[in-house]
Amino acid sequence: MTAADSSVPAADAATTGRIILLTTSHRVAPGLLSWAAWQALRGADRVLSGDPDHPQLPYLREAGVEVAPGSPAARELVDYCLAEGGRTAVVITSAEGESELTDGLARLAGSGREAMPDLELLPGSYDLPGARLLDLVQVMDRIRAECPWSGTRTNEELVKYGIEEAYELVEAIEEGDREALLEELGDVLLQVVFHARIAQDDPEHPFSIDDVAGGIVDKLIHRHPHIFGDESAETPEDVKRHWLRTKAVEKQRASVTEGVPLGQPALALTAKLASRARTAGLDVALPGGAGIGYELLALAVRAEADGVDPEAALRAAARTYRDAIRAAEGSATE
C-alpha cells in the first residue's frame, strides 16, 4: 500500500523508497521463504530485526544477508527510506508483530502532511492446511511437561474421557449443532494427541503422534488403491469391496467377529456382528431364547438388514421420550 495525499507532491517508489514488513510462520521450517521474500531481502538497502533470537536469522546470515539488530522508530525508518533518492528497508517481524512500528507508520501516513515511502506487507512463508495441528502438539508437549495433573496421567486413566467426548460428538452431529460439532471435534482430537503424548513417555514401547499419523496415512493409502494405485472404483460399493479385501489381507483374521469391540453399546454391537456376517455371506440363524434380550437382538439384526442404525434410531426415540417427559413436567407444574 502506498500513503498519498493531495497536499503531498506525488512521487514514485524510486524517490520515496519502500518499507517492507516481512512476516514468517513459525509452523514452517526456518529458511523456507518465498521467492519474493528472498528477492526483497537480497535487494534491500537495510534488513532489520528487533528479535535477536528470531529463528530466521541463522539462515539469513548463512545466505549472506546482513541483518541489523534493533527496532527502529517509525520516524527514523521513514527518514532512512526517503533519503538519497529512496532506499528500501525490510523489517523481519517478530511472532508478536511490530505494533509500535506499524502504529507509528499509520499515524505518519494518516496525518496527510508527510511524504511516505511505499509500505508493503510481504508474507515470507504461509501456513499449509493442517498447520495448526503443529501448535496443538507443541501446546500438549508443554502441558505434559509443566502441568501437575496432565503430566502424571496414564492412557488407562484417560479412557473414560475419550468415551465421554465421543458420545458428546455423536450428540452434536445428531442434533445438527455446527458450533458444538466444531468444539467436540476439537475435544476428540485432544484425546488423540494426549494419548499419543503419554505413549511417547513409555519406557518400553514408546511412540509419538507422528507414528500415529504415519500409521493411518499408510493405511489409508493402502486401502484406497483406486486413488493411489492402479485399481478402479466407480461406485461406493466398489470402494467398500477394495477396503474389505485389503483389510482382510492385513488382519488375517480367523473369524469375521475378530476386531469387534464387545464393550460398545449392545445395539451397536449387535448391528456390527450382523453386518460382518452379512458381508461375509454367512446365513446365521438367530439364537433362540426367551426374554427381552433376544427380542432386542432380533430387532437390531432386522434394523441392520434394512440399513438402519439401531443405536441411532433408539437414541432418536429416546430424545423424543425425553421431550415428552419435559412436557409432562411442565404440565404438572402448571
Element (H, E) at 69: strand 68-69
Residue 291: left if φ>0, alpha if ψ -120 to 50, beta else—which one? Answer: left
Which residues, in sequence order, are bridge partners of residue 118?
2, 18
Residue 248 corresponds to which cell in the numbers above?
482382510
> Is the confidence at residue 5, as pLDDT, over 80?
no
Let me know: does 68 contact 55? Beta carbons within 8 Å.
no
The pLDDT, as a whole number, for residue 14 is: 57
pLDDT per residue as tens digits for the range 89-99: 999 998 888 88
What is the DSSP secondary structure assignment for residue 65, as one 8-state letter? -
* Residue type present at position 139: V
CB-count exposure of residue 225 (10 Å: 0-12, 13-18, 19+): middle
Asked if 250 and 222 touch (Cβ cutoff 8 Å), the reply is yes
pLDDT tens per residue, range 213-259 = 999 999 999 888 889 988 888 898 888 777 777 777 777 777 888 88
Torsion 320-322-328-331 (CA) sign = negative
Element (H, E) at 19: strand 18-23
Identity of the residue numbered 198: I
Alpha helix (H) residue ranges in 4-97: 13-16, 35-43, 57-62, 74-82
Contact predicate 44/35, CB 8 Å: no
Asked if pLDDT for residue 301 goes beyond 70, the answer is: yes
